[in-house]
Amino acid sequence: MEAFIQGIPKAELHLHIEGTFEPQLMFDIAKRNRISIPFNSVKEIELAYNFDCLQDFLDIYYQGAGVLIHEQDFYDLTYSYLEKCAKQNIRHAEIMFDPQTHTDRGIEFKTVINGIHNACVDAMKNLQVSSLLIMSYLRHLPQEAAFKTLEQSLPFKKHIAAIGLDSSEKGNPPSKFKDVFQASVKAGYIPLAHAGEEGDADYVWEALDILEIKRIDHGNNSLQDDALVQEIIKRNIALTVCPLSNKALQVVPELRNHPLKKMMDLGMKVTVNSDDPAYFGGQLNQNFIEIQKALSLTKKDIYELAKNSFEYALLDKNTKLKYLNELDAFYAKNK
């Protein structure tokens, strides 16, 4: 089963580039930028990664991102993640980045996007991993701040496929960002959002009805409301589920309590993702391995999850078809 998971072609659709910052790379970049971090060793950093809830994690995650200064730093961070994709047979990655985490520290938008974008171009060329970018607004900040970010992004529009909404969910409902989502869609971005990770089903309703999102990040708490589940199915909207993240942030007590299989059985379209792999104890394939064990998923389940990852990617029809053919060829040989 582990070899099957390792080999199966797949896409990752829910991944924060700042959440891929491995302790060793953080040390190396902090050192070359002469920035001190409150840890003396990789071990100390790893010990600090023990979270009670989303906010607990976010505090450390924003602190870690604070050592990223130069375009090269963003390039190295992104390329390092894409190398891990190649090793895991991830053919395509949809990468979220949080511009405000950096622009609020005085880093220019162009420094961030150029570093990330150039790494994506090189990874396509050198590693044959395709990728696209999702610019995420921080929901703990006011909507006006998101508007400013939208404005800054416009010269780089061709490098950005979609917008997202992340950070502290409780108390920051999707409706807070109604206008900026509308303006972003007008500018050509596809709307996506985190909803129902810690927030209740009514936040998922808002994300659907007010922000008109095309994919739900997490979405666990949709299961609180049967009518919502039916609406998500009716609208053919996929959920990007993150098992190890849910365990690390105590969204679920244990993986064996995870609702992923239940979602699939209800007919929801689900994908498996790593969210912030450097912080949550595993890359994408480790997420597959652990959730497979916990829920006794079959090879057919894994195949369906991989298939969804391509079908619900923000890719054009022909590229999807190419990946789906590759997936089917693998499955025919290995089922």
The footprint of Zn ion (CB under 5 A) covers 275
> Which one-letter amino acid corresponds to residue 53?
C
Residue closest to ligand HPA (Cβ): 166
Determine which residue in the list 17, 26, 54, 313 makes contact with ligand HPA, applying CB under 6 A: 54
Nearest distance, CB of residue 57 and ligand HPA, angstroms: 7
Nearer to ligand HPA, 12 or 197 (CB): 197
Helix (H, G, I), strand (E, B) or coil at 9: coil
Give the nearer residue to ligand HPA in terms of CB position, either 197 or 311. 197
Question: Contact with ligand HPA (CB under 6 A): which of 71, 73, 275, 311?
Answer: 275
Task: State yes or no: residue 12 binds ligand HPA (CB under 6 A).
Answer: no
The span from the CA of 9 to the CA of 6, in Å, is 8
- The answer to whether 283 and 84 have CB atoms below 8 angstroms apart is yes
Residue 71 as a binder of ligand HPA (CB under 6 A): the answer is no
Give which of 303, 231, 307, 297 is closest to 13, Cα–Cα: 307
Binding mask 187-226 for ligand HPA (x = CB under 6 A): -------x--x-----------------------------
State the Rg of the chain over Cα. 19
For residue 304, state whether it binds ligand HPA (rule: CB under 6 A).
no
CA gap 235, 223 in Å, rounded: 16
- Cβ proximity to Zn ion: between 39 and 282 the closer is 282
Residues 6+ apart with CB under 8 A from 322: none
Provide the strand spans (E) within 170-262. Answer: 190-191, 193-195, 215-218, 238-241
Among 16, 176, 214, 307, binds ligand HPA (CB under 6 A): 16
Query: Catalytic site residue 197?
Result: yes
Report the sign of the C-alpha dihedral through residues 55, 145, 241, 19, in that order: negative
Helix (H) or strand (E) holding 229, with range, is helix 226-234
Q: Which is nearer to ligand HPA, 117 or 139 (CB)?
A: 139
Q: Which of 22, 197, 206, 311 is catalytic?
A: 197
Residue type, 160: I
* CB closer to ligand HPA out of 206 and 275: 275
Footprint on this chain of ligand HPA (rule: CB under 6 A): 16, 19, 54, 166-167, 194, 197, 245, 275-276
Catalytic residue numbers, as ranges: 197
